Amino acid sequence: AFLDLTGPNEIEGVWRGSTSLPCSYVPLEDFAQHTLVWSAVHDQSSGTIFRRDSSGDHILLSQYRGRVSVPKDAPGNVSLHIQKLEISDRGTYTCQVTWRARNNSLIVKEITTKVEVVKVAATKPIIRAGELGLTVPVRARASLTCVARGSPPISYRWFRGTPGGKAQLLSSQAELVWDSLQLSDTGIYYCEAENK
């Protein structure tokens, strides 16, 4: 059908994690997106979270500032991305798009998505071990990536040395990258993953 919004009826997000509320349409040449409004109805309150119009993007509810975004350069994709989910974010969200036709008439469509925020039992991070004893040629680009499962958010640290012994902190990212390996980079490296 022409200019229909599509997205799921219900979504489950994890507390303190992030989630995306899909909302999309197939762009048509004769219809320009005029406004996009994301609003929500919670147990205690309701209101407009996000508005995109000719003057730009506006986040209208302070509890969502710095936590929500909508893709910018993806025609037809008006999904709402929410970070650091709070239990109070649960509720019914409405994605409303208004298009302006060539004859200047306006067309409005909307869909609603129910959002549930669940607390997962807190679990310690578990690191998936990579290959041991990697041999890499000199001047090659290489990287080591730390992947852990567990309750978010998980922070990572890479060290050179041996756990429990003398170790040098190299990175606070999940990935440790070398643009050009040197012989002096030979050694033992390990990763630590930590959550709350």
Write the CB contacts of 83 (distance below 8 Å, at least 6 apart in sequence): 18, 67, 68
* Mean pLDDT estimate for the chain: 89
Domains and CATH numbers, the chain: 5-118 (2.60.40.10), 126-195 (2.60.40.10)
pTM recorded for the entire structure: 0.61
Asked if the model's pLDDT at residue 121 lies above 70, the reply is: no
Length of the chain: 196
Token code pair at residue 96: 């409303």
Asked if the model's pLDDT at residue 90 lies above 90, the reply is: yes
Amino acid at 123: T
Question: Among candidates 106, 112, 104, which has minimal Cα distance to 39?
Answer: 112
Asked if the model's pLDDT at residue 88 lies above 80, the reply is: yes
Tell me the per-residue pLDDT of 156-176, one tens digit each, with 9 for 90 and over. Answer: 999 999 888 889 999 998 888
User: Which ranges of the chain does DSSP label H, i.e. alpha helix?
Assistant: none
Tell me the per-residue pLDDT of 10-36, one tens digit each, with 9 for 90 and over. Answer: 999 988 899 999 999 999 988 999 999
Burial code (b: 16+ CB inside 10 Å, e: under 16) for 155-165 equals ebbbbbeeeee
